[in-house]
Amino acid sequence: MGKIVVLSGAGLSAESGLGTFRDAGGIWSRYDLNDVATPEGFARDPSQVHAFYNARRANLAGARPNAAHAALARLQAARGATLVTQNVDTLLEQAGANDVLHMHGRLDRAKCAACGHDWDAPLAMQAEDPCPACAARATRPDIVWFGEMPKELDIIEARIAAADLFVAIGTSGTVYPAAGFVDMARACGVATLELNLEASGSVFDRGIYGPASEIVPAWVA
């Protein structure tokens, strides 16, 4: 198994209690993503967006990595795997992983909407918090919202093109450009594998299905 690139989604952290987005009862069934995960929603009502992410930051504070996070940290230590995640939680880091490519940002980081400065987020954040660099009262979560450019795309796409195996774990393959990574891998002749609770509908060479905390350690072993 030469160079491996792993893309993870909310299913990786589901068994740590962080919830997913599009499963029954998921986050998007309780919140309108246009209100809490778009720049327009933030401009309309920054307090509502901060309340949404403050609640998720509090949820994360009580969560622990599960066996799947630990297995991916081991895979990275043993094989130098590139860990890309759509998740904004830090459970992979808490399990010992390094250099995780958070393409949708991170809950533990804040950003100034005025000057772009970013810093470690407090547990509860509000828009009136002054930016440490320019003092503007334009604090926002350092999260990639719909319509915003994902982070680290160049390095992610270069790693996928040069990989021997692309693995997607716990993602519904709904959100682009992440959902298109498997097609890019296949176009580059890279083998593809899906690990999920059930088939997402995207086309992979192979699939292993079951709860991440069981199938990921078994696959990594």
Give the interface with ligand BV8 as residue ranges (CB under 6 A): 9-11, 14-15, 20-23, 26, 37, 86-88, 104, 143-150, 170-172, 174-177, 196-198, 200, 211-212
Q: Which is nearer to ligand BV8, 35 or 129 (CB)?
A: 35
- Considering the complex, what minimum distance in angstroms separates the CB of residue 7 from ligand BV8? 9
Q: Does 11 count as an annotated binding residue?
A: yes
Q: Kind of pairing, strands 105-112 and 118-120?
A: antiparallel
112 annotated binding-site participant: yes
Closer to ligand BV8 by Cβ: residue 1 or 146: 146
Residue 206: what are its φ and ψ, rounded to 5°?
Answer: -140, 155
Residue 162, token pair as written in the block = 């040069």
3: tokens are 């160079």
Residue 62, annotated as binding a ligand: no
- Name the residue number minimizing CB distance to ligand BV8: 11
Residue 22 is labelled as binding a ligand: yes
Minimal distance, residue 135 CB to ligand BV8, in Å: 27
In angstroms, rounded to a whole number, what is the distance separating the alpha carbons of residues 48 and 130? 18
- To the query of whether residue 50 is one of the catalytic residues in this protein, the response is no
CB of residue 117 to ligand BV8, shortest distance in Å: 20
Cis bond before residue 217 (omega within 30° of 0): no
Whether 166 has a binding-site annotation, put simply, is no
Nearest to ligand BV8 of 3, 157 (CB atom): 157
- Which candidate, 20, 21, 7, places its Cα nearest to that of 72? 7
Torsion angle, alpha carbons of 66, 90, 106, 183, to 10: -50
Shortest Å, Cβ 194 to ligand BV8: 9
Extract the tokens encoding 184: 């890019």
Can you count the helices (H) and strands (E) in the chain? Answer: 9, 9
Question: Which residues are annotated as part of the binding site for substrate?
Answer: 53, 56
Active-site amino acid positions: 104
Question: Which residues are annotated as part of the binding site for Zn(2+)?
Answer: 112, 115, 131, 134
